[in-house]
Structure 1
């Protein structure tokens, strides 16, 4: 397996070196790391360049682009990737040192799986690897982008919908899962930043962010209906279910 790691980077000077170290400290080396600097205005680009030169790293590609968002940055990185598998990592998340080795082990044991992520909620009694069906994914997004390892040749073109600012990754997982076998591991693989999608802000900002996320999810369900992945009745039921989840999430956030 040749694995290319894609990192969208925007004003990440506080974390980006720790992120890179978590990749280059892997027990199983990746083929290449591609960092797309998405129009950063801080010292991110220079820090990465210094890191590359100081450690004489030849398989680290650093590319600048005008700010266009993480979806565009990831798509850009995928077009440059030489690997036959793609891993994603956000610029404030950290991989466990054995993340790639563990995922490769289970992918080799289960060659029918083409997308593998991590279960966010670990269950000691659950099986280590759990297949996620398309119907399960319609009810809940099981795949966290920084944990995903996916086969490159099955990705649509473009992979991520750059017109979406929320839930564009979920849309891609739905597209893949409708046609292919996907799974999650009940093993810790990633340490997620507490600042990622932080919703613990003012009530007004909280409500705004939650609603934008909900709109993104509803758009994904409509997309599945338009593509005839689901019928009209399922679309309505799933949309209502999604709105109920949104209201519950909103209430729980407000009463905390």
Structure 2
């Protein structure tokens, strides 16, 4: 199994080294690491170049482009990836040492799985609304619209998916990964490994902090767009769309309350 790790990077001089060390410290190393610098204005590129110079055991490719956004950077990485599996990682997140080994083990034991995500920051899901979750649970596109289970740095998927499902929507700035994963789940066997193998955002709460996920209003707009796209793709019907829109808005207001309470 050849795994290509795709890492978009923008002004990440303070975090990218920890991210790369988390790849270096994997109990099973990937086939290659593709880093796309999205027009960084800080010393991110220098940090990566220095890391490459002293870590020849890792097959790292650094590609520089003008700033076009994270989706563009990820798409470039997807196109360059030579492995038969792709693992996504962001430049401010870290994998626990056994992340790839554990996913490879599950994939070898379950060859029908096309896409496998894990948990992060110590979380474990007993159930999501009506759906009870075990150690390994198939995730439908409708369930992804109820709760965004798959987080970018936790997932690994077959490269062939890209040839069919296409790429990230570069016109969508928020919740773009949700849009992509819902489209994939419509056609492929997507599973959650209910184990925490990734640290995101330095272990902070999943929303309400700086960065893209910190903009709650724009994130909500992105999620509502995803629901509209799902309706267009006939993943959901009009009744389900109306219910999910209402549910999403309620979640949005709940998040606002949580953030305000946290700030007090």
Match of 1:165 in 2: 173
Separation (CA, whole Å) in 1 of partners of 2:188 and 2:153: 20
Q: Post-superposition shift, 1:200?
A: 4.2
Match of 2:142 in 1: 135
Q: Post-superposition shift, 1:127?
A: 2.9
Q: Post-superposition shift, 1:123?
A: 5.1
Q: Post-superposition shift, 1:252?
A: 2.2
Match of 1:79 in 2: 79
Separation (CA, whole Å) in 2 of partners of 1:246 and 1:97: 34
TM-score, length-scaled by structure 1: 0.92
Specify whether residues 123 and 178 from structure 1 end up closer, same or farther in structure 2 by C-alpha distance, changes over 3 A only.
Answer: closer
Counterparts of residues 1-256 of structure 1 (less than 5 Å): 1-57=1-57, 59-120=59-120, 121-122=123-124, 127-155=134-162, 156=164, 158-194=166-202, 199-200=208-209, 209-256=215-262
Equivalences, count: 253
Separation (CA, whole Å) in 2 of partners of 1:188 and 1:177: 21
Specify whether residues 37 and 255 from structure 1 end up closer, same or farther in structure 2 by C-alpha distance, changes over 3 A only.
Answer: same
Specify whether residues 227 and 82 from structure 1 end up closer, same or farther in structure 2 by C-alpha distance, changes over 3 A only.
Answer: same
Compare 243-252 and 159-168 and name the one that shifted more. 243-252
Separation (CA, whole Å) in 2 of partners of 1:52 and 1:211: 39
Compare 66-75 and 244-253 and name the one that shifted more. 244-253
Q: Post-superposition shift, 1:56?
A: 2.5
Separation (CA, whole Å) in 2 of partners of 1:86 and 1:248: 34
Q: Post-superposition shift, 1:226?
A: 1.1
Specify whether residues 52 and 219 from structure 1 end up closer, same or farther in structure 2 by C-alpha distance, changes over 3 A only.
Answer: same
Compare 157-166 and 213-222 and name the one that shifted more. 157-166
Q: Post-superposition shift, 1:58?
A: 5.8
- Deviation track 1:126-173 (CA, whole Å, cap 9, x = no partner) reads 632122122211211100100000111012464111101101000111
Gaps of 5+ in 2: 128-132
> Would you say the 8 A contact 2:142–2:235 is kept in 1?
no
For the residue of structure 1 that corresponds to 2:7, the secondary structure is strand
Q: Post-superposition shift, 1:109?
A: 1.1
Q: Post-superposition shift, 1:196?
A: 8.6
Gaps of 5+ in 1: none
Specify whether residues 26 and 4 from structure 1 end up closer, same or farther in structure 2 by C-alpha distance, changes over 3 A only.
Answer: same
Compare 242-251 and 127-136 and name the one that shifted more. 127-136
Separation (CA, whole Å) in 2 of partners of 1:235 and 1:107: 33
For the residue of structure 2 that corresponds to 1:113, the secondary structure is coil
Separation (CA, whole Å) in 2 of partners of 1:143 and 1:226: 22
Q: Post-superposition shift, 1:124?
A: 8.2
Give me the CA root mean square deviation: 2.3
Q: Post-superposition shift, 1:122?
A: 1.4
> Would you say the 8 A contact 2:141–2:235 is kept in 1?
no
